[in-house]
Structure 1
Amino acid sequence: MRSPVPLLVLAGLFSGASLAAPADEDRSIPAAVPTTTFAISTERVKVDLVARDKKGAILRGLGAADLEVYEDGVRQDVESFDFVERLPGEATVAARPATPPAVVAVVFDRLGPGARSFAQQAVLGYLDRALSSKSWMGVFSIDRSLSTLQQFTDDREALRRSLDRSLSLASTSVAGTRERDSIRNAYAGLSTGIGQAHVAAAELSGVPECRNAEDELIRHLEILDSRLLEAFESLERDEQGFAVLHALLALVGGLQPVPGRKAVVLFSEGLAIPAGVESAFRSVVAAANRANVSIYTVDAGGLRATSAADETRRTIDSLQGRLQPENGNPLARGSITTLQPMSGLALLERNEDTLRFAPGSGLGRLADQTGGFLLQDSNDLSTGLAEMDEELGAYYALSYAPKNQAYDGRFRAISVKLKRPHGRLQARKGYLAVKTALPVPALEYEAPALARLDVGPLPTAVPLRLRGLQFPEEPPFSRVPIVVDVPSRGRQDLAVVVLVRDATRRVVAKMSQRYPPAEPGARSEARPILFYRETRLPPGTYSLEAIAYDLRSGAAGAVTSVLDVPAVASGRLRASSLMIVGRAEKLGPDGGAAIPLQYGGVLLYPNLGQPLKREPGQALTFFVTAWPAVERPGIEARVEVIRDGQRVGATRATQLRPDTDGRIQLASSLPLEGFAPGAYELRVTLSDGRDAETRSAVVPIAP
């Protein structure tokens, strides 16, 4: 936590006063998932599906009477059912007019050199032989984040150049076979006694077998090292899973407005979906299903000499060897070790995690639940990629109005059944029941909070405060910090979600953060949360909606606020919102990324409407930023205090000059001793002799 410091006060305006020290709180400003365009609505659910006969050919001629659609086990009434087909060499020949072109996003996950070359050759072959002439393709790479190698285009040469560049990419390493083998072999034989356990570890490390005290110490150190490797591998798999799923969310969001059936082709050597990543996985599935995006996954390891299933089986076998009673486990003997034997439940959880790591597990689930399929155990992907391309140009599209009109944010399972015999049916598996149309995909933890905002009056069980500010740094857009304060954090698992709506009530921005307990099952201490995010908005009047939702109890609180973003021009005087400062913290040596609320080496936190106390030494501190015109760099500042429409105080005009960044930051304070209790308006007027900007803020003074 940064230490509180007094604000720097502009000489000649007011006498300064220090700010109160910050209370203990959670403060998190993480990197946001990449923002994209995405709109969803559950008033009418759309599902596209592919049906093949027993020989693998597209099954044509189906009608609505040939199928049944179920949502959470309840049969739905199909409102529309059409067959969409794009014939070779024609852009829009279909059962319906204006059939859109196919859009394919090729994504390379973190791949080793051999797998990357294999994936590149497969895509080049698909580009030359199977991709239809009217299709558009984009090429992307995932490492710590999503990188664009080629934007969507129908230019084949540009796509080939981007695929050539993909070979030169270096991926951040992740735990691989050697690490997993080290862990598995170090655990091998632990249930059969001290001697045999050490023999297994000694054979792995090349240490001669011995049976003395030093030998015992070495064995325990090897076991400890193995467990450290196992823990590191688990954390790294979580990181890899989040990186892939967040990147897919961004792609799905970008593809949503594109009409028709879209595809993402993910080349990966395995997608782990441990328990900590499961929520993000379901968010991707729900978003893809709502955006009509099918995800096709490819095991870029090709045809392995030893299959992933064999490796998974060996890992499970060695772990099962540890399911022994305490008196048979060498780690439970003697008093020289503090290592505890792994319980049966923990080992079963580890077995489940191992199964999830197999390429056919995570990749297969992702493909199956989004209407695609998995390609694996093959060095020739041409047939599978050709099938995928065929499905983009020949599919059925149906829609229905769900009978369950209670949009509670839960995941609703969809199943489609054909009455006539068929070989294979691919259809989406469900969606999140959120009614509000959003600009980015709804995450699973956001869904119940969003659903609560749509129902009845605003909840009040969880207190919170909200404030939006505008800083016109880059006209015509303004940089808009949004701050939410949840004064008491007495909850189990809290989600904070903010929506920004324009004058038409359309949601133009969504931001959120989940605050889980420190440990699974632990109750968090009652302490405040400060939520901070930024967005960019054009001129207009916006409505801000914030909700704090306890994901375990369902308790929630919501507030709204109005933000005016004035029209500005780069060649004229412009000014930010006037902010009443609640407190300040000194920044570290590096300072971090510059944000609008940074004043020199100090980070300012806004007062969100809390009454100010008239205590000795306390002050009313405010902050505003101005950008003068280049030809009129000097501005004049005046401050007024208004109560009940009457001016009760004012300062003389003060001349201000811009800093090296071309801006003027005004931070100053008024002693509170002279204020009587009540509601005041603080008004700051900035003028360059040609233009004048006035900003105001409400200031409640406590008795």
Structure 2
Amino acid sequence: MPTALPRPSGEGHEEPMNWKPILSLSAFLVVPCLAGAQAIPPAPAPSPSPAAATPTFPSQIELVTVDLVVTDKKGAPIPDLTAADFALSEDGDPQAIASFEAVQLPAAPSATPRPRPVISTNTAPEVHTGRTFMIVFDDIHLAPPQAHRAKGAVAEFLKSGVREGDRVSLVSTSGSAWWSARMEAGREELMTLLKRLDGRYIPDMSPDRMSDYEAMRIHVYHDPQVEDRVSRRFEQYGASTRQGTTDSSNSSSSGSGLGTGGDPMVEGKASEVYFQAVTRNRITLQILERVLTSLAATKGRKSLILVSEGFIYDPNLDDFKRAVQASRRSNVAIYFLDTRGLTGMPDYFTAQFGPPIDTQDIGAAFTENLEASEGSESLAADTGGFTVKNTNDLGKGIQRIADESRVYYLIGYNSTHTQRDGRFRKIEVKMPGRKGLQLRYRKGYFAPLEGGKSPLDRRAAGPGDPDIQAALDAPYDEGDVPMRMTAYVFDETILGKASVLVATDVDLSSFSFQEKENRFLDTLEFLLVVAHRETGEYFRYDQKVEMKLQAATRERLVKSWFPVVRDFELAPGGYQAKIVVRDKNSGRIGTVVHEFEVPDVSQFRVSTPVLSDTLQPTPEGQKSAPRPSLLARRTFASGTMLYAEFDVYGAAKDKASGMPKVTAGYVIRRLDGEVQTIANPSRIQPTSLGKLSRLVGARLVGAEPGEYEFVLTVRDEISGKTLELKEPFTLTAAVAGN
């Protein structure tokens, strides 16, 4: 398997990691910190919320942006409006519109999605021509039947509701999924991930069941009417007290709020149910806040779709306030898709589960059914979105969200209120002279606070840096630190898994090195996460690389870029790798995402070809076959020698000799079909152990700059199977003197 260049001695050292060491291609002094890696199964609780990113709301002359949707009475979006159609005010004071953009996307999806790149880079930032959707699948608030119906609605949205250029992320509150993809190329990945999600909430159908709303009213507010109602139900449905007898003492004081001072069984049950609800609600709200915070720097129309049965509104949880604040700061509308469908009486109040409910409690039961989702509905109302409820056609409901986001307006203004007091500023948009139209937008924002942050800005301390975590969560790449990333899949390591190298090159030219004693000092901090699409399992590395470079080494690294290579043992399936890199001295952050597939290692296959224009140096005093340097780039100069190395696995073996018989040939050609080099198929000679490996090289003399591909054809002469791989690369102008 190709490896990285060995590190020359004399300028640095690296301590071994717990799992796999970082593979460095250049000389530098490295002091790893915070190292660790493990395969982590889906967890029931998410990581704590990261700190809020720098907000994009007014501070003296900063621009406030308002994302606005205008619909008619039937909910159809209104296009072709201008800035003159709107009047805007903040805290009642008129504001002059400084910028205006009308966006109208095509009604039908594109049929030509972009192909997945072999090399992913953030040097050419993704153009935000589409919308950004964050679908939060609240599986800890979804029972399996409702989850199944919700998955159908989300699948329909992915098929017909998105357009080329849209960015869609699918996040589960249980922690089993966080996957972002550009449409329409990423549709199948999201559909595959959606299939494995399911509801994790199992409703209590026991005789002493109690709703979250009832539990809150009893435990927090000591509501005697609710407690009496629950006591009557417990008696009617045959629930026993803690002493094992039927307790009807409170029923005699029905509705009075007086009597024995409370039913111990009811109050104990209320405490249990309430704290379980608080745990679930806090997890969901923290995930919502984390998702919303990650969108702070994203431009264009941003929507969060909460797919859930809903949850109660608990004013004792600051998490509600923080979620709303994060939404307003990030200018994101929350839409709540109520998966309960048509609702009336809760199922466990019907004769299916016991005697009919007492007639005096019917009204309260209906009210409780509404209160059960008040928390999620209030989030939608407070952030400029809406709730889809009381319908069994969830697909049509989620399509409303897509249609509404197809036509929208971005209005910017410079606030006349420049005080940095942390107060909430109310925004109001009107359309003078236009009646019968509905306007949806965020209701305001929190001004920055002079000298610090408001209490709601505080986040619970997490295992990692909050700024790096926020960059990891963001759906788009950040380009302040240029990078490129690729993946190489090689041989089988353990049963059913393949050896995979994830290689990243980091541009150090913008790093703020500090010179001290003829050395250039800086720290490269990075977080790498590789997630498995089919299972949700992921690997996470968090490390700091302290660099003390000589001038010549720094200059060389600036030209060649700094390599970070990690090896993994991965099961077959789809993977998404994302790395976050920060220059500690300047605070600049860069991110890049790369998607790749690991094939079934038991099948006839070829390793990812290593294309390179350089060979690894042979260590002094050793004799070994030349190996190409593993690169995270596919750009070479015309006239250079192009090397390609690959291995073949899973070939059938001859019964007589026990050895495989495999031939391979290749063609180097321009994408327009013009052939540069042809190598006819020839047999690959196996080693004594039957290993099949080949290194080829071709000098690209006279090749014009442009886009090319290395087309490799491999044939198993025994089984008759043939494989063809196309590896794209770019030729630039010849280097002088090469």
Task: Give the TM bin, normalised by the shorter chain.
Answer: 0.3 to 0.5
**TM-score when normalising by structure 2:** 0.44
**TM-score when normalising by structure 1:** 0.46
